[in-house]
Amino acid sequence: MTDFERYVAVYSPDLTRFCMKLCGNIHDAEDLFQDTWARAFDKFGQYEPDRSFKSWLFAICANIFKNTKKSKYNSSKAVFATDEEKERFIRSIPDKEQDVDAYLDLHAAMQTLQKKHRVVIVLFYFREFSLSEIALMLEIPEGTVKSRLNTAKKLLKRRLSHEESQR
């Protein structure tokens, strides 16, 4: 088994969850997952072993996601035939999430965010990268990361509060 094959085996589950959180649907997440591994394979010679492979891989994924023109990874609005099908799929994703119902609400709210806000939320809260790591990954200043996180949190809070009041 090559080093790259070993990385694929180790990091595919995390990358799958990351792609799903960014895209919000299985079809686009699968495309992003494949595009990320293809780019990582093409650029593997540029990977510096003293850098975290996971950070390097997630930077590739985040940059593909945010730089894709025509919102390729957000094109499918009606991916699941029913809400039950969507819920069953989300429940099947192995993750640290404890309260699946709250996760489903958060997942829906996150899909309303612009790409630039969704990427920083997922990297910071779901993948637990530091502000400086995110800034390096996205090639933006750390202050911009902080600003986007702050804006995204406010938008999520507003959306989740609105949904709670609708019940």
Task: Kindly report, residue by residue over 87-139, the tens digit of the pLDDT.
Answer: 665 555 545 445 556 667 777 788 888 989 999 988 888 888 899 999 988 88
Residue 19 reports pLDDT greater than 60:
yes
Beta carbons of 98 and 44 less than 8 angstroms apart? no
What local confidence, expressed as pLDDT, does residue 108 receive?
Answer: 79
CATH number at residue 92: 1.10.10.10
Does 42 or 160 have the greater pLDDT score? Answer: 42
What local confidence, expressed as pLDDT, does residue 7 receive?
Answer: 93
Range of the domain at 49: 3-166
Task: Kindly report, residue by residue over 60-83, the tens digit of the pLDDT.
Answer: 999 999 887 545 555 444 355 566
Handedness of CA 45, 55, 123, 117 (dihedral sign): negative
Q: Per the structure, how many domains does the chain have?
A: 1
What local confidence, expressed as pLDDT, does residue 77 receive?
Answer: 44
Beta carbons of 67 and 116 less than 8 angstroms apart? no
Q: How far is CA 6 from CA 3, 9, 10, 90, in A?
A: 5, 5, 6, 27
